[in-house]
Amino acid sequence: MTLPTRRIGPFTVSAIGLGCMNLNHAYGRMPSAADGARLLNRALDLGVTFLDTAALYGYGDNERLIGKAVMHRRAEYTLASKCVLDVFDGERGLNGHPDAIARTLDQALVRLGTDHIDLYYLHRLDRNVPVEDSVGALVRAKEAGKIGAIGLSEMGAATIRRAHAVHPIAALQTEYSPWVRNPEVAVLDVCRELGIGFVAFSPVARGFLAGAVTDDNYEADDIRAIMPRFVEPQLSHNLKLLDRFRAVATQAGCTPAQLGLGWVLAQRDDIVPIPGTRSIAHLEEDVAAAHLTLDSATIAAVDAIFTPGAVAGPRYSPAMQAAIDTELLPEELADA
């Protein structure tokens, strides 16, 4: 099957990619390796040509899964992974030093079973290391043929400019959905100015806009249990917004998840959302949104729900926000 395509840096990829994180990380009980492999192969069968992973996901297990499950189909997709966030001396950590980046990359290549990663991101900004030094490590990796292009994740406009001055940045990845609008502060504009592609993770709000959250009784190790928007008393308020969002989806003749993805796709033609899922049925639902065209009235109806300040709770807890460089919204600054 084929899907509509979009450009991300030098790559032409399916208009909807696949975020692979939750096959091994962050959302409670993991699927089996066999089920994960089936989902990855089904994504390729459906025409998805952009797979996104990271060293951190499952502490390397996500890269191992991709290596075992779909590396035999390597010619069919653009592969993206990330460094800086990794496991160091047995503990999760953040290290943007060039030596640490080089080690993470070499270990990733082994786990993936390949000698080349198409797009390699700095997963987060290490404030203890000049971003120029971190990007320099990726420039050397590119010169060595280990990676094809350089990306940044969860970084703000000023940092993007500094990084881009060292070497052209192909892609910026951050969270973007109807209820997370932080890229609209500055990042979307600087990406357009500099010709940087935009990759939107969590385009259905970590499952919230798909109806996956009904209460805050989460499984152990579900990241949403420590995210303010997903717990009480904020959750009850936000579920009322979801009811309105569902009504718009019904009127538009699509599912809520497809409405979220369609909204992201409609913002600009250089944005590629990368929803993640553990369900093949949900995968098929998500991928179908690549063919969805929303009219202006539907887009406006979504925007009327998620007006500035409408969502209760910040995007991250204070501890999580400390590692994020992306700009805050005015209402977040007022609460800070």
Q: Which residue segments constitute the domains of the chain, with CATH numbers given?
A: 5-210+264-293 (3.20.20.100)
DSSP 91-144: EEEE---HHHHHHHHHHHHHHHT-S-EEEEEE-S--TTS-HHHHHHHHHHHHHT
| 8 A C-beta contact, residue 271 and residue 198 | yes
Q: Pick the catalytic residue: 27, 57, 77, 120?
A: 57
| Annotation marks residue 121 as catalytic | no
Per-residue pLDDT of the chain (336 residues; tens, 9 = 90+): 799 999 999 999 999 999 999 999 989 889 999 999 999 999 999 999 999 999 999 999 999 999 999 999 999 999 999 999 999 988 999 999 999 999 999 999 999 999 999 999 999 999 999 999 999 999 999 999 999 999 999 999 999 999 999 999 999 999 999 999 999 999 999 999 999 999 999 999 999 999 999 999 999 999 999 999 999 999 999 999 999 999 999 999 999 999 999 999 999 999 999 999 999 999 999 999 999 999 999 999 999 999 999 999 999 999 999 999 999 999 888 766
Cα–Cα distances (Å) from 130 to 44, 126, 136, 156, 173, in that order, read 38, 8, 10, 14, 19
> 88: part of which helix (H) or strand (E)?
strand 85-88
